[in-house]
């Protein structure tokens, strides 16, 4: 086969990976056509082997997904909130062993022994804010609503540090701590300390009550969809889509490539901070996979990864640091869940590095 006849996506990867790219296209079949789509990136040594959009970002406008399409990251945002806390620790503005009540004194006395370190690793035991939403509420919750509900809830699931339970509550509160410790809004801190230094020019923390319309703030925005009663319905926002530290960032695969690159050196986080983020602090329980949890990252074997799930969005980033391979899949639909798909996509790209 002559090189000139290969599709553009295969040219990007080179002939050596042509079969792997074709395999990836086959695995991405559900996202192709006039349906809610996905953006896929395979990085090796910082270079894109595969960088491609599938399907539609906006069904109503028939806008196609491209590598520049911005998706709501959902819980993939947690690694950025964790990085913000680690940056403030590097700045000596806070300590990971601070009590959450030191920064948010309205919380009940039962939160006294809950530390920032425990919130980072989901071992704080604080009640899920989703379970505290009053029946019949129709307006979106913001971070202050979460703080008020937690402040009025003296119970917890377990003594801090004694168990693991995934907690959106913890990461909303960590976002508020970033504001208290830095004197800046969370969106400004993330922009000034992470997104701008890394030239992630199309990445932002969405703030639902900002006077600027969201559409003009999120560039090349993908809207979320859910399959219901035989058709795709736009389900872009829910009651819990306006909280920030647990899932409010929009980004695209090109910007996330820059984030991935920064995780290999100390241009942003120190060696000690990255080691802390990527070390197992708790065993993940209650999930259909084996993992430990670092700070904003799950750890399984030689992978660092995190998924993100919000109404109408399913995302995952999986990194194999020893092989310098990363696969990112962002999608604007409620199904399928992309983690297993990404592991299958990565398999042939890993073979040369692992000697298979």
Residues in the chain: 356
Helix (H) or strand (E) holding 40: strand 38-44
Buried b (16+ CB within 10 A) or exposed e, 127-163: bebeebeeeeeeeebbbebbbebbeebeebeeebbee
Pair 308, 166: CB distance under 8 Å: no
The owner of tokens 């008020």 is: 148
Q: Look up 75 and say whether it is catalytic.
A: yes
Find how far residue 261's CA is from the centre of its chain: 16
Rounded distance between C-alpha atoms, residue 52 and residue 69, angstroms = 10
Catalytic residue among 9, 75, 241, 273: 75
Question: Which residues are CB-neighbours of 289 under 8 A, at least 6 positions away?
Answer: 300, 339
Which own/partner pairs from 292-299 qualify as long-range (CB within 8 Å, at least 24 positions apart)?
Answer: 293/121, 293/122, 293/164, 294/121, 295/82, 295/85, 295/86, 295/120, 295/121, 296/78, 296/79, 296/80, 296/81, 296/82, 296/83, 296/120, 297/79, 297/82
Task: Please tell me what DSSP assigns to residue 92.
Answer: T
Q: Is the peptide bond before 19 cis (omega within 30 degrees of 0)?
A: no
Largest CA distance in the chain: 70
Phi/psi at 322 (nearest 5 deg)? -65, -35
Give the CA count within 13 Å in the CB-facing half-sphere of 118.
22
Q: What's the gap between Cα 317 and its chain centre?
A: 8
Backbone phi, psi, residue 101, to 5°:
-75, -20
Q: Which residues are catalytic?
A: 75
């Amino acid at each position: 086969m002559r090189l000139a006849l290969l599709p553009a996506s295969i040219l990007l990867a080179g002939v050596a990976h042509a079969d792997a790219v074709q395999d990836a296209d086959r695995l991405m079949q559900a996202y192709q056509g006039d349906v809610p789509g996905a953006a896929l990136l395979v990085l090796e040594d910082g270079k894109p082997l595969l960088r491609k959009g599938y399907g539609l970002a906006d069904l109503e406008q028939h806008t196609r997904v491209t590598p520049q399409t911005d998706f709501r990251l959902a819980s993939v945002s947690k690694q950025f909130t964790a990085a913000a806390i680690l940056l403030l620790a590097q700045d000596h503005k806070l300590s990971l062993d601070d009590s959450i009540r030191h920064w948010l004194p309205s919380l009940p006395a039962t939160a006294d022994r809950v530390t920032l370190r425990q919130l980072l690793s989901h071992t704080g035991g604080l009640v899920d804010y989703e379970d505290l939403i009053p029946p019949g509420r129709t307006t979106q919750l913001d971070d202050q609503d979460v703080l008020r509900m937690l402040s009025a809830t003296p119970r917890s699931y377990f003594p801090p540090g004694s168990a693991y339970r995934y907690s959106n509550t913890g990461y909303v509160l960590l976002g508020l701590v970033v504001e208290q410790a830095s004197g800046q809004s969370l969106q400004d801190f993330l922009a000034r300390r992470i997104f701008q230094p890394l030239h992630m020019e199309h990445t932002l923390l969405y703030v639902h009550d900002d006077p600027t319309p969201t559409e003009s703030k999120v560039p090349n925005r993908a809207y979320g969809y859910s399959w219901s009663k035989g058709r795709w319905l736009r389900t872009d926002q829910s009651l819990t889509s306006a909280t920030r530290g647990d899932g409010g960032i929009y980004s695209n695969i090109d910007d996330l490539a820059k984030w991935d690159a920064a995780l290999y050196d100390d241009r942003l986080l120190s060696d000690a901070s990255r080691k802390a983020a990527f070390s197992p602090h708790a065993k993940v329980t209650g999930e259909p996979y084996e993992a430990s949890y670092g700070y904003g990252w799950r750890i399984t074997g030689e992978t660092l990864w995190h998924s993100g799930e919000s109404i109408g969005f399913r995302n995952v980033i999986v990194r194999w640091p020893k092989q310098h391979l990363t696969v990112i899949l962002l999608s604007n639909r409620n199904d399928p869940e992309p983690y297993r798909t990404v592991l299958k996509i990565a398999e042939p790209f890993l073979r040369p590095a692992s000697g298979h």
